[in-house]
Chain A
């Protein structure tokens, strides 16, 4: 079974700074099947990226994704106050189990 490990667990940055979040898989898989979600406090997760690098509808272009094989990255180029949240990566090709990483908390420094 694939395991997704996100790092760091918590990232403390200031508005305006650049954030880089990592997602590492225990097995190689196609970047077609890697998504990122944002979860603000008290809210449902929201799809940010899919196929590793494609922004979902309505997502600002300060969000970008990259990676292949076992290593994937989500970058926020310039943090806005509303970007401080928990981010999850997800692998969505291994039905019957869709795997999420444990999450990275992006907090205001």
Chain B
């Protein structure tokens, strides 16, 4: 059973960079897409972007200019960097797994709240 765990600062200053890491255990990263999804407090879900185990990325066009997702399969981790953050980026950030091809998100981390505030 795969387990995903998000980690990173819970508070980021406006105009700063939001950086999170997702650690994967219980299964290989090979053959899967690894995703970031966020949920503003009291609101719905927004897919941020994904990275294949080989390193190729796909980003939500609305965040593309501020977003970088990277992967380190040797450490079984993938990471999110979101620059120039504002209060609108305050959310619970989830990492999630998706199988290669057109499949849904079958495993999720527990999520981590990131607040953008001075």
Contacts and interface: CB of A to CB of B under 8 A. Distances in A.
Q: Is chain B a partner of chain A in the same complex?
A: yes
Given A37-B105, A56-B106, 4 more contacts: A35-B104, A44-B111, A100-B45, A103-B44
B110 interface: yes
B102 A32 contact: yes
Interface residues of B, number: 19
A96 B59 contact: yes
Interface of A: 32-33, 35, 37, 43-47, 50, 56, 88, 90, 92-93, 95-103
6 contacts: A44-B111, A45-B94, A45-B108, A50-B104, A92-B102, A96-B58
A96 B102 contact: no
A92 B44 CA distance: 16
Contacts of A103: 44-45
A21 B15 CA distance: 40
A100 B104 contact: no
